[in-house]
């Protein structure tokens, strides 16, 4: 809903900033056009007065990086930073006198590691051209960062395909690790996923991958680095229990969403083997 009005003040006709209502009683200003900072400050003050009278709560101002000249002005009006992406800065202000219920900023980066195991008990491993294992000769599982709006199960499949050319299907999350201060004050969630290969021919990615191959688990475990790293030990353990079919991780279950703004229902990851074996489930089996 656009809220782009004009009203006549004592001296001039001052335009209000273009704004849309959000779902929580607030407004979002998404400035796209360059604006002189003097014109902008008049419009911002008139708009704030208008929103206060209208009982609005949070006021969001999204400034593209091209409008960096307006950041100081917005801050001087009492706004603070909420989050930033490479090409924009989001500022926010809370009008009511009550405690602000603005959503927290994102705190975690999410990564995936893919354990891809064949029926011949071989796992897919790579050597990387960058990162802290570069040049060490260490064979590791394919890993990568989950993109914005990407499902964990989809990210694992994508990373395997990108790094090695191997097609695979997602089976389950077998473990995850939470690390703090991964970069600045942010944290990291790393999901170890188990995948079933659908093709076996390796075509490695040139940019990031030094080498890729199928390797036996004893060979993986025998690497000096793997003997020191608790993560590598966990990976080796998980390979063995998965091959013996003795380990239930969390499968992805498509869940109907209670939020109408979703494009598709979100995934819930859970131990469906135990759940279905118990006979207690009221939800659908995948």
Catalytic residues: 162
Identify residues 180-239 at the interface with its own copies (CB under 8 A): 180-187, 189, 207, 228-231, 233-234, 236-238
Please select the residue that binds its own copies; options are 5, 6, 45, 105, rule is CB under 8 A: 105
Under the criterion CB under 8 A, does residue 121 sit at the interface with its own copies? no
Q: How far is CA 230 from the centre of its chain?
A: 25
Tokens 């782009």 -> residue: 4
Query: Which range, of 86-94, 118-126, 162-170, 198-206, touches its own copies by CB under 8 A?
Result: 86-94
Query: Which range, of 49-57, 82-90, 158-166, 197-205, touches its own copies by CB under 8 A?
Result: 82-90
Under the criterion CB under 8 A, does residue 280 sit at the interface with its own copies? yes
Task: Please say which residue, 15 or 145, places its beta carbon nearer to its own copies.
Answer: 145
Mask: binding to its own copies, 125-164, rule CB under 8 A, as x and -?
A: -----x--------------xxxxx-xx------------
Helix, strand, or coil (residue 43)? helix
CA dist 254 and 205 (Å) reads 31
Query: Which range, of 40-48, 49-57, 107-115, 197-205, touches its own copies by CB under 8 A?
Result: 107-115
Look up residue 245 and give its two tokens: 């079919």
Number of residues that bind its own copies (CB under 8 A): 91
How far is the CA of 219 from the CAs of 4, 139, 213, 235, in angstroms? 66, 10, 12, 13
Look up residue 119 and give its two tokens: 């029926």
CA dist 18 and 27 (Å) reads 10
CA dist 61 and 84 (Å) reads 12
**Is the CB of residue 188 less than 8 Å from the CB of residue 179?**
yes
Q: How far is the CB of 200 from its own copies (least distance, A)?
A: 25
């Amino acid at each position: 809903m656009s809220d782009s009005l004009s009203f006549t003040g004592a001296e001039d006709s001052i335009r209000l900033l273009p704004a849309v209502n959000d779902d929580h009683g607030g407004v979002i200003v998404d400035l796209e056009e360059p604006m002189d900072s003097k014109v902008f400050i008049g419009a911002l003050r008139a708009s704030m007065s208008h929103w206060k009278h209208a009982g609005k709560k949070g006021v969001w101002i999204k400034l593209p990086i091209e409008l960096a000249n307006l950041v100081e002005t917005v801050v001087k009006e009492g706004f603070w930073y909420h989050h930033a992406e490479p090409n924009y800065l989001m500022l926010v202000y809370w009008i009511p006198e009550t405690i602000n219920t603005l959503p927290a900023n994102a705190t975690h980066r999410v990564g995936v590691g893919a354990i891809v195991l064949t029926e011949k008990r071989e796992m897919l491993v790579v050597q990387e051209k960058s990162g802290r294992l570069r040049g060490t000769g260490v064979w590791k599982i394919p890993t990568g960062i989950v993109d914005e709006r990407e499902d964990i199960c989809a990210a694992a499949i994508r990373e395997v395909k990108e790094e090695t050319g191997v097609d695979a299907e997602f089976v389950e999350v077998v473990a995850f690790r939470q690390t703090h201060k991964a970069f600045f004050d942010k944290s990291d969630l790393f999901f170890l996923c188990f995948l079933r290969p659908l093709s076996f021919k390796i075509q490695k990615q040139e940019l990031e991958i030094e080498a890729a191959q199928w390797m036996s688990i004893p060979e993986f475990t025998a690497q000096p680095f793997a003997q020191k790293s608790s993560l590598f030990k966990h990976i080796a353990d998980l390979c063995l229990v998965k091959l013996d079919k003795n380990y239930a991780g969390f499968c992805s279950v498509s869940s109907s969403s209670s939020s109408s703004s979703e494009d598709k229902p979100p995934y819930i990851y859970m131990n469906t083997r135990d759940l279905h074996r118990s006979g207690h489930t009221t939800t659908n089996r995948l």
